[in-house]
Each structure stands twice: as structure tokens, then as C-alpha cells.
């Protein structure tokens, strides 16, 4: 039925990437291009007292300097709404350089534009800025006393508390309880391409080449902040060097680039430096989580209490929601999840790959492992026994697969026969252990109607368009596959065009929703055009297909034929040429189900890991990982595998390497480069395998596609921590699990 969807097709943008010819947003050649550089505040709390520009202006090559004294006021106060919602999506409800107040270290206080990158950097260093510093509060340790209960999360779209049953009563009555507290260091996305925006004005209209995960979000946000019509803002994004959430929201530099270009009357490229990327595009916030499980001796969960405390900015109630999975992946009548916030001197945190679920699941899945040991049960059987057929509202899953993922993973990994006793396997100086975790990631239908256009020319060649952007997710390839199958043409005659707000609307590809949204719209556009072409043929007296019922016409390789007699038919090109139609096109749209659809909506998976822990030095190395996932229909297994594998290795980094903390004296992030903020390198990579469990889903769109962008990370760190326990007998209560954490017994507990 489907000739290319589901096939492991190579990336169609591969040649552009391996030859270096693909143009990223900081590589656009424009005449007269100027180079902008943000100057970040050197205090984390306080006020700008003075800015002396004399030396900077004298340095040569400077076209303009913007500070709070001359930066235009934004037309609308930014409001924090996730970009998936299809509205203006500033990363924080604060816009810098509007007054002299400094809320966080690195907050933009000036912007220098010059004729070269070097000149801008030199002039920026010569700006003489004095501050009236206040005492920063930016850590849990310093702000704990000021913590307050959050009311809503995600810009008001999610309640911060989730309660049902009588959790305290159930815990008091539980035959077995597990109680654990965790501390998680902050994470930074660090895509290899830092965020960059190139802005060019033409009269009242501005074009932005913006490294974004959503061209529409950039357009909506910039138009709102500048107070100009959407039709005057065009955003183009053909290649993006990774996002991972850092480019999901639209941060101040995007609008500042447009302002700067207007200020100097030239096109401006504004790129974040690597150190600036630690203070300019959000982060995964420092957080503490506590979980208490109650269960019967038979293993049935009777109570889950899951609380989170984290640091947000002075102006936003942001927390990545920790309890979205713990409230539903295992059935439990008595539940309490809540979020407490400390408003401190940081920028607003943001989505970071598997936002909420990666750490929320770490807490839940390591607690489940503790429970399995308490009960003397196999951790896989404990999970399967507690995984319900319905979600926390009693709605059936749109599709499940969790138990199958655990079982298939156990087979692939070689779980059977595992001696659960901790600390029993040693090889040389290494203690060896294995661990498992469940995984789930929500399918979030909060986006508006999605659009795509399919257009065929009279020579049979095809263009499929949506405004989607390619940041490594493979959308260019998978949508070419979907379009080709929908229209019934070979992929070779089809070009997928995207990354431009002039094209039909799709929402930001975030929250693992990109493939679902885009494939649904593209599929509908392509099949609509196919149906239109068939209708044209059967109504065309000169067509060999004249008079047939449309349902008795099939299409393959651009040729319509009778299902009864394949010798009767004609190509799309013949039809169009005979009728002197230069082209035909169709707009496809897809309206997502409401958030209140009566279905449980999660993508499920299972994670397995084997670790070697240096018995004296506490250094953990992962030797093997296995992940099995049930993401509905897999459009391209080669690309889906890559994304899931990437997520799993992000989990490895989160487990062992990645963590940042704020210096309490200055309020500055301690680590601000890739030499010290450690992400995995080639040598960290274990043997790793990814497999799929097929589940059919007719709720999540016409093709039944759930996302693969984030679920690969969920549970990966937990499986590693559970393996460390198996190896050492020590429970890990802190991430990352660095040598001293392991040596000292696992952290605060």
C-alpha cells in the first residue's frame, strides 16, 4: 500500500549537509551585512548605573550601539506561552534593554553593531558599564525559604497541582512505602549551532533568517513585539544546527536583531557566542524532587506523592512539569503531584529535551526500582503489573505498547536470569550492574489547525510545501515520503519545500509533535490533490478513465489506472497537458483533536542499561543500552532510530556528565563552555540498540504518527542509575552522577 512511508530512506538533505553547502541562518550572504554582538550584564541583580560608549565608538568599524537608553520600547508586553500553541512565544515575559534593571547575569544590556565580528567584539569589550549590584539569589540553597506553591505551569496552560483520592491516608495505610529525595543540577541545550538571527529590512518589511524550531513562532513574536503586521515579517529557516528546546521559544535576540538592523540601516547578523548561549536561551532549571510511593505486598501501587521544587526567573512561573508521567503511566487511585517555585536571579528556564518527563521519570522510575527491591519483585513485572489500560481520567490509551516494549527490551538486552543482588558482579576494578526503566512521553494537542500545500506541474513534478523547519528531525525526508505516497508519485519527482513563513502554516516542531502535525497536513494535502486529479480524469471525456468511479482508480508512480484493468489509465502529466493545465494544487489541513479527547495520549517505551562503576573512584561508564519504543507509525525507521538513539545518549549525558550550577557570589553560571560543561563525546558511547513495537493509533492523526523526538531520553538516566545501584548497592539521588556522588554514596537521599 505504502511504497516509501515506513522505508529506511536516506535523508534527502544529506548531500547538502555532508558537502557543507547547506546554508544555516548565520551564513546568509547579504550586501552590507553588519555584525551584532550582545553585551550581557556582569551582575545578576541590580541596576545599570552608567554606560560610557566613548572608547567603544572610537574603536573603529562601529555602526551603532544600543542600550536601554535608545532601544525602542516593545509594542506589547511579552507573555509566556509555549510555541506549540501557535501564538507569540517569547521565552520569557520580559524584554531586555527597556530600562536599567538587571534581573540575571548575562541579561542583554547593550548591543554593538560593527562592520566585522572582530570589530563588534572589540567595541563590546570597550563599553564601560558600571552597575549598582544587589545580592543575587539564584539557587535552591539560597532561595528555599522563599519557595511558593505554583498555580499554573506552561504559561497558564497546565495546573501545577494534580490530586486525586486520599494520598496521605493511602500512604499511612500502605504495606510498603518508598520515600526518596533527589537533586538535579541545571542542564543547557548546547546545540552545536548557537542561536543566530540575520535580519534585513526592506521598507516596512523585515526578513529574518532565524535558527528556530518554529518559523511561525518567530514571526508571531517579532510582529507582536515590534507592533507590525504579520504580513510584514517573513522568517526563513532552511537549516538549523540543532535545537533540543533552546530554539523552541523566541528569545530576545531575535527581535533585537530586527531592531538593530533598523537602527543601523543595514542587514545585521546577530549570533550568540557559546558562552552567551548559557544565559540567553533558557535552560533546564535546577530542581529538587521528592517522591513517596505506597504499595501493597503484592506490588500494587496504592499511593504516589511526587513534588518538585525549582528555581525560576523573577517574572515567570516556569517549571518543566515533573508529574505528567507519574500521574498516569502506572495506575494509582491516590495521587498528589505539585510544583513549588523559587523566584531567583536567572532567566526563565525553558523546554529542554524531554522537558519534565526526563527528570520526572528519573524520580518515578528509580523509585519503582527501590520498590521492586523492597518487594523482592522483578522490576519489569512490577511495572507491567501496575501499567493500566486507561489513563488517569479513565480514558483508554489511543495506543499503548508499554508492556511489549518492556518484554521485547528484556529479550534484546538479555534480562532473563539476572541476579538482582547488588554488588555481585566485578570485572577488574569495575562493578557491573544492569537496570531497567519505563518511559512515556505525552502527545500534546494544543496546536491550531495545520496546513500544507501540494502542487503538481504539467510535467509531473511535484512540490509539497509547509512552513516546517529542518533542525535534524528529518522532516524534509519524511514529509517527502508522506507526500509521495499520498499523491502516488515517486519520491524522485517530488521536492519538499519548507522553512518559510510564506508557506502554509504549521506550528513549531516541539514537544515531539512535529511529525504528527506535519505528516497529517502533508498527507491531507497530497491525498486531496490526488483525489482532485482523479476526479478531473473520470470527468474528462478524453481520459481513458472517463466514467469510472473515483474509488476504482488507483495511482502509482504518477499514473492513474483502473483497479479493474491496469492497462486502462493515464499519467497525471498527460491529464494536465491535454487540458492545458500548467499545474494543479491543493491545500490540506488538519485539525488536531482537542486536549479533551477521550483518550490517554502517551508514547511508551522501555530502557535498559549496563554500567561499569569503578569501585574505588566512583567513575561510571555505560557499556550497553537498549531502548524499545512504541511511537505509532514509523515514517522512516532509519531516521526514527537516529532520533531515539540521540535521545538515549542525551539520557547518558544527563545521567553522568551534564550539570551546571550558579556561583552564589556572582549569580553567574559556573560553566559556560563545552570544555567544562561536559556533553558526551565519541568515547563515551556504549553499544546501543534501538527497536520498535508496532502499535496502531487512529486518534493521533490520519497516519497514526506519534513523536520520537523526546521519548528516547525518558527513562534512560533512570535505567543507568538503577544499574549503578545494581552494581554498587548505592542509590543515586543526584544528577549528574559524578565520581564524588558515587564515592560518597549517592547524594543527599
Partner 1 sequence: MAINQSTAPAETGLRGPRGEPVTLDVNGATYAIELEPRVSLLDALRDHLDMTGTKKGCDQGTCGACTVWMDGRRVLSCLTLAYSCEGHQIATIEGIAQDGELHPMQQAFIDHDAFQCGYCTPGQIMSAIALLREGNATTDADIAEHMSGNICRCQAYPNIHAAIREVRDADDGG
Partner 2 sequence: MTMRPITFFRAGSIDEAVAAVSSHPDSAFLAGGTTEIDLLRLNVVQPTLLVDVNDLPLTYLEDVDDGGVRIGAMARMSDVARAPRIVERYPGMSQALLLGASEQLRNMASMGGNMCQRTRCSYFRDGQSPCNKREPGSGCSALTGINRGHAVLGTSEQCIATHPSDVAVALVALDAMIRTIGPDGTNAIPIERFFLRPADTPSIEHPLAHGELIVAIDVPALPVARTSRYVKHRDRASYEFALVSVFSAMRVDDAGNVAELRLALGGVGTVPWRAHRAEEALIGRPATPENFAAAADAEFADARTTPMNEFMVTFAKRAIVRELSEVTS
Neighbouring C-beta atoms of residue 135, cutoff 10 Å: 12
Known active-site residue 710: yes
- Euclidean distance between the first and final Cα of the chain, in Å? 54
In three-state secondary structure terms, 686 is coil
Candidate list 132, 710, 734, 740, residue with the active-site label:
710
Q: Which of residues 19-58 bind partner 1 (CB under 8 A)?
A: 19-24, 26-27, 29
**CB of 602 vs partner 2, minimal distance in Å:** 33
Measured in residues, the chain has a length of 749
Closer CB to partner 1, 11 or 458, in the complex: 11
**CB of 273 vs partner 2, minimal distance in Å:** 6
Q: How far apart (Å, rounded) are the C-alpha atoms in residues 176 and 166?
A: 16
Q: Could you say whether residue 166 binds partner 2 (CB under 8 A)?
A: no
Q: How far apart (Å, rounded) are the C-alpha atoms in residues 327 and 324?
A: 6
Closer CB to partner 2, 319 or 620, in the complex: 620
* Residue 535 contacts which entry, partner 2, partner 1, none (Cβ below 5-8 A, type-dependent): none
Q: Which of residues 201-240 bind partner 1 (CB under 8 A)?
A: 239-240
Q: How far apart (Å, rounded) are the C-alpha atoms in residues 366 and 179?
A: 11
Q: Which of residues 113-142 bind partner 1 (CB under 8 A)?
A: 116-118
**CB of 110 vs partner 2, minimal distance in Å:** 12
Helix axes 357-375, 637-656, angle to 10 degrees: 70
Stretch that binds partner 1, among 98-106, 145-153, 401-409, 677-685 (CB under 8 A): 677-685
Q: Could you say whether residue 17 binds partner 1 (CB under 8 A)?
A: yes
Q: Could you say whether residue 593 binds partner 2 (CB under 8 A)?
A: no
- Closest by CA position to 252, among listed 453, 497, 40, 400: 40
HEC per residue, 621-673: EEEEEEEEEECECCCCHHHHHHHHHHHHHHHHHHHHCCCECECCCCCCECCCC
Q: Could you say whether residue 512 binds partner 1 (CB under 8 A)?
A: no
Sequence-ordered list of residues with C-beta below 8 angstroms from that of 586, at least 6 positions apart, any chain: 453, 454, 455, 525, 526, 528, 529, 532
Whether 406 contacts 429, CB under 8 Å: no
Closer CB to partner 2, 279 or 323, in the complex: 279
* Residue 29 contacts which entry, partner 1, partner 2, none (Cβ below 5-8 A, type-dependent): partner 1
Sequence-ordered list of residues with C-beta below 8 angstroms from that of 417, at least 6 positions apart, any chain: none
Closer CB to partner 2, 262 or 615, in the complex: 615
- Which segments within 32-121 are labelled E, that is strand? 34-40, 46-52, 62-67, 101-102, 108-114
Q: Helix H segments across 6-139?
A: 14-18, 54-58, 117-126
Q: Could you say whether residue 679 binds partner 1 (CB under 8 A)?
A: yes
Q: Could you say whether residue 656 binds partner 2 (CB under 8 A)?
A: yes
Site string for partner 2, 237-276 (x = CB under 8 A): ------------------------------------x-xx
Strand 101-102 versus strand 148-149 pairing type: unpaired
Q: How far apart (Å, rounded) are the C-alpha atoms in residues 323 and 301?
A: 16
**CB of 109 vs partner 2, minimal distance in Å:** 13
Q: Could you say whether residue 657 binds partner 2 (CB under 8 A)?
A: yes
Strand 620-630 versus strand 687-692 pairing type: parallel
Catalytic residue list: 710
Q: Which residues bind partner 1 (CB under 8 A)?
A: 10-11, 13-24, 26-27, 29, 116-118, 189-194, 239-244, 271, 273-274, 471-474, 638-639, 641-643, 645-646, 648-650, 673-675, 679-683, 685, 688
Q: Which residues bind partner 2 (CB under 8 A)?
A: 37, 42, 60, 117-118, 121-122, 124-125, 273, 275-276, 429, 616-619, 621, 656-657, 661, 663-666, 668, 670-672, 675-676, 678, 680-684, 738-740, 743-744
Amino acid at each position: 500500500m505504502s511504497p516509501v512511508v515506513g522505508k529506511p530512506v536516506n535523508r534527502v538533505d544529506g548531500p547538502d549537509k555532508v558537502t557543507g553547502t547547506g546554508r544555516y541562518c548565520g551564513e546568509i550572504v547579504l550586501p552590507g551585512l553588519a555584525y551584532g554582538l550582545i553585551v550581557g550584564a556582569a551582575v545578576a541583580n541590580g541596576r545599570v548605573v552608567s554606560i560610557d560608549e566613548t572608547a567603544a565608538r572610537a574603536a573603529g568599524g562601529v555602526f551603532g550601539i544600543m542600550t536601554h537608553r535608545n532601544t525602542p520600547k516593545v509594542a506589547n508586553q511579552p507573555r509566556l506561552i509555549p510555541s506549540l500553541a501557535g501564538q507569540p512565544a517569547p521565552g520569557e515575559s520580559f524584554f531586555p534593554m527597556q530600562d536599567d534593571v538587571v534581573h540575571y547575569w548575562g541579561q542583554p544590556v547593550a548591543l554593538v553593531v560593527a562592520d566585522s565580528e572582530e570589530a563588534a567584539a572589540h567595541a563590546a569589550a570597550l563599553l564601560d558599564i558600571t552597575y549598582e549590584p544587589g545580592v543575587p539569589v539564584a539557587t535552591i540553597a539560597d532561595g528555599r525559604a522563599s519557595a511558593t506553591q505554583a498555580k499554573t505551569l506552561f504559561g497558564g496552560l497546565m495546573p501545577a497541582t494534580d490530586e486525586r483520592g486520599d494520598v496521605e491516608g493511602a500512604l499511612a495505610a500502605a504495606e510498603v512505602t518508598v520515600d526518596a529525595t533527589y537533586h538535579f543540577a541545571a542542564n543547557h541545550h548546547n546545540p552545536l549551532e548557537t542561536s543566530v538571527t540575520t535580519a534585513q529590512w526592506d521598507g516596512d518589511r523585515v526578513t529574518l533568517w532565524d535558527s528556530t524550531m518554529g518559523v511561525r513562532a518567530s514571526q508571531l513574536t517579532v510582529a507582536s513585539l515590534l507592533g507590525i503586521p504579520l504580513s510584514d515579517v517573513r522568517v526563513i529557516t532552511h537549516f538549523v544546527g540543532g535545537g533540543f528546546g533552546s530554539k523552541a521559544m523566541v528569545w530576545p535576540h531575535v527581535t533585537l536583531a530586527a531592531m538593530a538592523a533598523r537602527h543601523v540601516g543595514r542587514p545585521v547578523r546577530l549570533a550568540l557566542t557559546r558562552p552567551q548561549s548559557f544565559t540567553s536561551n533558557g535552560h533546564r532549571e535546577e530542581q529538587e524532587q521528592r517522591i513517596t510511593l505506597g504499595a501493597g505486598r503484592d506490588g500494587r501501587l496504592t499511593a504516589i506523592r511526587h513534588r518538585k521544587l525549582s528555581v525560576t526567573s523573577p517574572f515567570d512561573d516556569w517549571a518543566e512539569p515533573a508529574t505528567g508521567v507519574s500521574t498516569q503511566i502506572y495506575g494509582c487511585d491516590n495521587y498528589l503531584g505539585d510544583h513549588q517555585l523559587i523566584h531567583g536571579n536567572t532567566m526563565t528556564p525553558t523546554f529542554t529535551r524531554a522537558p519534565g518527563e526526563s527528570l520526572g521519570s528519573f524520580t518515578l522510575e528509580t523509585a519503582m526500582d527501590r520498590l521492586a527491591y523492597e518487594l523482592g519483585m522483578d522490576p519489569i513485572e512490577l511495572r507491567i503489573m501496575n501499567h493500566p489500560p486507561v489513563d488517569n481520567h479513565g480514558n483508554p490509551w489511543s495506543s499503548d505498547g508499554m508492556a511489549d516494549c518492556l518484554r521485547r527490551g528484556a529479550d534484546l538486552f538479555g534480562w532473563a536470569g539476572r541476579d538482582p543482588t547488588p554488588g555481585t558482579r566485578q570485572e577488574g576494578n569495575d562493578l557491573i550492574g544492569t537496570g531497567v526503566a519505563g518511559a512515556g512521553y505525552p502527545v500534546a494537542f494544543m496546536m491550531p489547525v495545520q496546513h500544507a500545500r501540494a502542487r503538481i506541474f504539467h510535467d509531473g513534478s511535484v512540490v509539497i510545501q509547509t512552513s516546517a523547519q529542518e533542525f535534524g528531525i528529518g522532516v524534509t525526508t519524511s514529509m517527502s515520503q508522506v507526500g509521495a505516497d499520498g499523491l502516488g508519485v515517486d519520491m524522485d519527482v517530488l521536492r519538499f519545500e519548507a522553512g518559510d513563513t510564506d508557506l502554509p502554516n504549521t506550528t513549531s516542531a516541539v514537544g515531539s509533535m512535529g511529525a504528527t502535525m506535519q505528516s497529517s497536513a502533508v498527507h491531507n494535502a497530497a491525498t486531496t490533490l490526488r483525489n482532485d486529479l482523479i476526479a478531473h480524469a473520470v470527468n474528462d471525456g478524453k481520459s481513458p478513465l472517463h466514467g469510472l468511479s473515483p474509488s476504482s482508480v488507483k495511482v502509482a508512480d504518477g499514473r492513474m489506472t483502473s483497479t479493474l484493468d491496469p492497462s486502462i489509465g493515464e499519467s497525471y502529466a498527460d491529464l494536465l497537458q491535454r487540458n492545458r493545465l500548467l499545474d494543479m494544487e491543493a491545500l490540506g489541513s488538519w485539525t488536531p483533536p482537542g486536549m479533551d479527547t477521550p483518550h490517554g495520549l502517551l508514547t511508551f517505551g522501555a530502557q535498559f542499561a549496563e554500567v561499569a562503576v569503578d569501585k574505588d573512584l566512583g567513575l561510571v561508564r555505560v557499556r550497553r543500552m537498549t531502548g524499545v519504543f512504541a511511537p505509532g507509525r514509523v515514517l522512516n525507521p532509519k531516521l526514527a532510530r537516529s532520533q531515539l538513539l540521540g535521545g538515549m545518549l542525551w539520557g547518558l549525558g544527563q545521567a553522568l556528565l551534564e550539570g551546571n550550577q550558579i556561583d552564589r557570589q556572582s549569580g553567574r553560571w559556573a560553566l559556560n563552555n563545552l570544555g567544562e560543561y561536559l556533553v558526551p563525546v565519541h568515547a563515551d558511547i556504549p553499544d546501543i540498540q534501538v527497536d520498535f513495537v508496532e502499535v496502531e493509533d487512529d486518534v493521533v492523526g490520519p497516519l497514526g504518527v506519534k513523536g520520537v523526538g523526546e521519548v528516547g531520553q525518558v527513562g534512560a538516566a533512570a535505567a543507568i542509575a538503577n544499574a549503578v545501584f545494581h552494581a554498587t548497592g548505592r542509590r543515586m539521588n543526584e544528577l549528574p552522577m559524578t565520581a564524588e556522588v558515587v564515592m560518597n554514596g549517592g547524594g543527599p537521599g
